[in-house]
Amino acid sequence: MSLQGKRIVVGIGGGIAAFKAVQLVRELMRRGAEVRVVMTKAATHFVGPITFAGLTGKPAVTDLWATDYAGEIHVELGEWADAVVVAPATMNLMARATAGQADDVVLATLACARGDVFFAPAMHHRMWSHQATRSNVELLIDRGAALLGPVTGALANGEIGPGRMMEPEDIAEELETHFARGDDLARVQVLITAGPTHEDLDPVRFIGNRSTGTMGYALASQALRRGASVTLVSGPVHLPDPQGADVVRVRSAREMHEAVMQRFEETDVVIMAAAVADYRPERREPHKIKKRGNLQLDLVRNPDILADVGAKRTQRPAVLVGFALETENLEQAARGKLERKAADLIVANTANAGLAGDTNRATLIDPSSVTPLPEMSKKALANQILDRVSTLLQQQPRHPVVRTGQDAPN
């Protein structure tokens, strides 16, 4: 049981899914964790505090102003816990956490948390898709919290949609996986490319694609959580920078090629998650192209970044990962790419599964295995990819960079 000895605070928000917190507490304890419970006042309308006292042997904390406790319970629990899991995390609770409010025991404990923080959202699908919620979620993740769910399923009113709280067994499994990983990428230098590239036709138009950069940014965030030093070479996206990453912003395929080729030899792992344009206009017009009859564009090939890294690497990077986005013959095309470009791993997905949105369905292909994965969040897929990267790193030695002169650290 990889939760043996772990100390976990479960924070319960005021949503109908609060009843699932009972099963979550039982499951965490079954896997060896020591659990304490804090509840918002709203949560006590859905499930009684005495239930958790019976399960954990400790009273559930519901009031910052309780006169029977002499200390600062939120400070002590925040210091005590290896992780704080808010389940369910309602729209209102996450909004208040984003604003830095600390006027109830759940929010105050979150503000004092020393360990990792997880939110398991649960709400109606229209509340989940509300722009305020999306912005708050992005900010919480940017500050270091992790999101567990939500999943698509039956909601309290019988509608089907995204917003259902992840099942307690799955939350416990995610926590087990999190603690088992630990800092498995500590002292590993990782370079990740993300997003689309834009190939300019003129000052106002460009050739691009539908990539949002979500997959590459998820890889960067999760690599950072696992202890890696991350350089993120990003095309044009509308995403916050992963906190702690060295972000290099580029626009075109040639700019991305230059940024990667300048850095890859000082990197242990290169993950090419960007959707790089294969072609660019042969000529970029200096002025806006005027409307006239049919327009003919002459396109030329862009450099193949993955192939160039694969051909030129010697000792580093130790692991090279590419992505294959296909509309047909997925496995065959991905295996061909693996061989032609001297990669160690190819993440293969179809255009309708992986280019946009928050989820993906992929197949991991290396020289000796093919591993189809179910549909999952891009964050979860990022960890599946990094699990495989970690295994590949263990199979071959890394070669440290020797810096001299102006490159030497102070």
User: What is the signed CA dihedral for 94, 99, 101, 105, rounded to 10 degrees?
Assistant: 20
Q: Cα-flanking dihedrals φ and ψ of residue 264, to 5°?
A: -65, -30
Do 277 and 325 touch, CB atoms closer than 8 A? no
Of 219, 147, 170, 234, which Cα lies nearest the Cα of 390? 219
Distance CA 164, CA 158 (A): 11
**How many other C-beta atoms can be found within 10 angstroms of the C-beta atom of residue 250?**
21
Helix (H, G, I), strand (E, B) or coil at 166: coil
Catalytic residues: 209
DSSP line for 254-301: HHHHHHHHHHGGG-SEEEE-SB--SEEESS--SSPPPP-S-----EEE
Phi, psi of 356 (to 5 degrees): -135, 170
What string of DSSP letters covers 184-223? TTTT-EEEEEESB--EESSSS-EE-----SHHHHHHHHHH
Rounded to the nearest 5 degrees, what angle is found at the Cα of 362, between the Cα atoms of 161 and 126? 15
CA–CA separation, 178 and 374 (whole Å):
19
Pick from 188, 196, 182: nearest CA to 231: 188
The rounded distance, in Å, linking the Cα atoms of 410 and 397 is 27
Q: Are strands 362-366 and 369-372 parallel, antiparallel or unpaired?
A: antiparallel
Rounded distance, CA 184 to CA 188, Å? 9
What DSSP character marks residue 367?
T
Per this entry, what is the length of the chain?
A: 410
Using CA atoms, how far apart are residues 359 and 112, in angstroms rounded to an integer? Answer: 32
